[in-house]
Structure 1
Amino acid sequence: MIRRVVIVLTMLSGCGPSAPLPQLQQARDLLQRSDATAALDTLAELNGSSDIHYLRGVALLQLDKLDAARGEFDTAFDESDEPRIRACRLRLQLFARNLSAAEKLIALELDHPSDALVRLSCVYAYEALAVRLAAESRHEAAAAHRTRAADALATALTLASEIREFHPELLDFAVEYDQAAAALRLVRLIRKRNPNNAVMERREVRLLIAIGEQEESIRRGRRLHLRSPDDPLSAELYASAMATATTSRSHDSTFRKLRKRFPGQIALIAQHARYLATNHKLTSACQILATALDSQVIHRRGHDDRWPLIQAAITLPLQAGSTGLAEQQLNRYRNQITDELLVTYFEGQLLHLQQDYDGAQQKMTEVLKARVDAVGRRDPLVTEAVRWLQRIRQAKGRRPATAS
């Protein structure tokens, strides 16, 4: 009742303070570029509008300050019950593991099927339900919810111009759900409006990599690196573009030059190893990673810094289908993995590679059950475990029946 009175009084007054539109536009532009701190600074002196509180909430979401974001969305909701504000409040309830919020989001989607943010938020809702169902071994129902999540995302992508402030999240989801081509079209539209946006230019190269446009991604990555030769991020992107390319003297030389220019740069070492593994030099790839991890410079770094190298040392043999080397690498590095569930996750992948599908399914289910009630944003490990359960079920379905 109080919220309705506030809305009516605001509509009747017509003389209250209105938000300066240029600041709102600027904040959306900054959020589109993932610059949430600058967006908050832009909005700092503004008051009195649901749009202001909504955009502050989005910025705080980007910064993972969920309690503060909730306060902003609640204030916005006191002034407006727009679907986008309701969707933001419900997704925060979902992050707190209130599963009823998933059902409410889906109901909101039925009422507002053309609202971009509602559809995007429903990706979280369908994923949360899929995780719960998979943990209960209801795999067909879980797969159906994953499909619904993909459909909701596809709709959100077509309506993306309405939610520029959520473009970083939207584009990340698109890669995960094999919708990188649609994401690339969106990024190119954004870049037409702002061609000098370095963040979006790098995003475009990553999307080119994701859809397999190898030559163009390498060419664009090289151009970015030459433009900023001392920038490690540009160097890492260039290396990532080359990582799946066929071996050549030119690429070999470029990797050597990049690693010499940026010694100890972990992402470059990991991409170099990936390049070698892609070109059937798996043993050399593992040796490069081992040498780096054993070096004094990298050994002194924290676990989080070293993790990309440990992860590559285990996942490259798994991806190559090298059962023996994968098992050897997992045993070698398991004591350096601080999260025991990650070990369980890798064990599940190894069992899948060994065609022990029941054992693999058991390991991935163990990961889900341990994390299904964890509070916070979507857990990448849980998301991957659900995907692996689908893959394992498909592999079991393809296996020839044994004679009785």
Structure 2
Amino acid sequence: MVFLTILKCPILLFVVAYTINAQNLSTGYYNVIDYGAVADGQTDSTQAFLKAWVEACMGDGAPTILIPKGAYLVGPLTFKGPCKSPVSVRLKGSLLASTDLGLFSNNWIEFQYIKGLKITGGGTLDGQGASAWPNNKCHRNSKCNILPVSLVLSFVEDAIINAIHLVNSKFFHMNIFASKNVHLNKLKIKAPTDSPNTDGIHMGDVTNIKISNTIIGTGDDCISIGPGSVNVAISNVKCGPGHGISIGSLGKYLNEKDVRGLRVQNCTLTGTTNGVRIKTWENNPSSLVASDIFFEDIQMDDVDNPIVIDQKYCPHNFCSDRDSPSKVKVQNVVFRNIKGTSTSPVAVQLVCSDAVPCEGIELSSVFLQSDKYELKTVCANVHGSYHLNPTRSASREASVGAPIARADASIHEN
């Protein structure tokens, strides 16, 4: 009876809506249910989420958007600032991405131009990517249509993303772009090993990024660090399956910025196709520098290519001129205390540019073993040093990377 009365009286409907919004403004909490979201996993709740964001962004104090338990179907969401105050999103439920690719012009969920953002709550972003993966043609065409990224932070400053799950993205699970002072902690990211381009976390043009205590298993890089990334700290990350932790690829586009100040520590990689890797394009238009990079205290378990510098990177033969060397300068890179097992005969591959050889490359206390192969190291155009651990025998050290195949390389023992 009350419902029928509201339908017959537009004035009463306005008063009810205003009362809900006024209450949210006074308490600082914006529950998406109050804006029409339905937690049945089938009803499109896109507009309800956008309305909640608009009001929270205009709120004073410390506005918090509440997403209760349940499943919410939403299409593309752009949460745009600047906002009056830092905004928190408490995600308890699961957001399900629409499977209708026609709805997406770009990404699925994107936060833009926000200073002070917190997303937490233990909930899930489910990209429902299985229906979209057959549409990924990037392995055939370098100018392919990019599928939606699940979660994007662009031009965001002072953000904390804590204790949420991201699963089955259509493309990358997360992308951080042109942002600074972002801390990702206790994330769980998961997609099948054969899901294409489902990188866990990608970043570019960023400063002061921290990733900690996170578990990632996908069909591509667990973490990929793109051009313009400065002061990135990665620690206590468990990676696998996937393609490992990668810097790059670098140099593909004109006017890319340098990468410097990266530290990867106390991480475990299990069953990945690569371990820790730096990759730069051949025949690239951009000259930049990748420097001051530390990979330390890394456990490799059944990793195909544990340590890689690949400056002849050219997936799917997309390079127009394979004889043109990379213009990216790689320098001051340390691989220290890296242990475990390799599933390929090449445990260490340092293949640097013919034009700008790698300099200041250090391998220290690298102990990799294999039950199947006599492991070897391949080096080209690289200058640096390797260090024996005095607590281990020299013969055991030699068995890790011997024999060494070198081309214009000078790696000396200290």
TM bin, normalised by shorter chain, reads under 0.3
Kindly indicate which of the two structures has a greater share of residues assigned to helix: 1
TM-score of the pair, normalised by structure 2: 0.27
Larger RCO (alpha carbons 8 Å, 6+ apart): 1
